[in-house]
Amino acid sequence: MAGTVVDERDDDELRILIQKVARRIRSNRAEGDVGDSQLSVLFYLDVRGALTPTELAALEHVTPPSMNRTVNGLEEAGLIVRERATDDARKVLVRLTPAGDRLLVETRRLRSVWFSDELANLTPTERAALEAARPALRKLAGG
Amino acid sequence: MAGTVVDERDDDELRILIQKVARRIRSNRAEGDVGDSQLSVLFYLDVRGALTPTELAALEHVTPPSMNRTVNGLEEAGLIVRERATDDARKVLVRLTPAGDRLLVETRRLRSVWFSDELANLTPTERAALEAARPALRKLAGG
DNA sequence: TATTGTTATACTCTATAACTATA
DNA sequence: TATAGTTATAGAGTATAACAATA
């Protein structure tokens, strides 16, 4: 019972720490950088090829209207194009443009600067521990 | 050189994973729940007592106007009060109200449900790895 | 002048509700 | 009816620029 209380507090701290690290990552956006969600969509399109808005929404665990807004922003910026699917006229395929591909590469490079510096400031032990936690983080990220 | 490229991609994934887990935590807010930043402020006020907006902004790594908006929301909800400091008339002390204290306890409990469930779904190995990464996360969170 | 707090404004991301088009 | 996409609207969180009050 005492153990339970301690565990709850530990979980709390872990949860708050993850949110805080994420907030710091976000706050270190570079000038002309693209937002988190937009970047993540570019990332998925690069890895998996063209996807529908519904598929993207599921991958990001957001609602279709949220993803639609994100896709609108990317389209207005010329980073993706919408194409009607040939097999099902309801479906739309979101595809990376060459400009989107270039921005993805550049933005990831910019984003990595702060984070990689932070990682470099960890001790070898801390770094190894974070590396070992990668599978757990993958599972918590939910695919 | 090949190793460098792989490392960059690994850092990228780690960064994106952390952001994604944070997004999932946020999306699992309960009804009537308070936002991330507001909750974090309540957390600090509970642990450290009354603090100025500037101090809170520094702790959260956000700008003073951002913190001001967060504090406004908490004040409108009756969860904190602003008091003029006696020693320096420029300063404002933000203090938790009894209602804020109650909401903090309740909200943390609600928030823990989803995350603790997720943690419970990890294998013992994954769970231990995440636990071992806690010091690294603390450092990345920047205090 | 420097510091503290604040307001004005704008952008990103998120959600729910409701609508259109296609299957 | 069910599914895919979208629009309308709203709220939280963040930022920069500019201003007021006090030290």
Q: Report domain extents, chain A.
A: 2-140
Domain A2-140 -> CATH class: mainly alpha
For residue A91, give the nucleotide whose C1' atom is nearest its CA: D4
Q: Cα(B60)–Cα(B47) distance, rounded to whole angstroms?
A: 14
CA of A22 to C1' of C20 (A): 38
Q: Cα(B66)–Cα(B53) distance, rounded to whole angstroms?
A: 10
Give yes or no for B48 touching A (CB within 8 A): no
The pLDDT tens digits of the residues spanning B26-68 come to 877 766 678 888 998 998 999 899 999 999 999 999 999 999 9
Which residue's CA is nearest to the C1' of nucleotide D12? B35
Of B5, B142, B53, the residue nearest A19 (C-alpha): B142
pTM: 0.84
A61–B27: do the CB atoms touch at under 8 Å? yes
Asked if the model's pLDDT at residue B92 lies above 60, the reply is: yes
> How many of the other CB atoms lie within 10 Å of CB of A115?
20
The pLDDT tens digits of the residues spanning A66-122 come to 999 999 999 999 999 999 999 999 999 999 999 999 998 888 777 777 888 889 899
Task: List protein-proximal bases of chain C (any atom < 7 A from a CB).
Answer: 3-9, 12-18, 21-23
Q: Which contiguous run of DSSP H or E holds residue A81?
A: strand A80-84
Q: CA of B77, closest CA in chain A: separation in Å? A: 22
Residue of B nearest to A104 (CA): B12
Mean pLDDT of chain A: 88
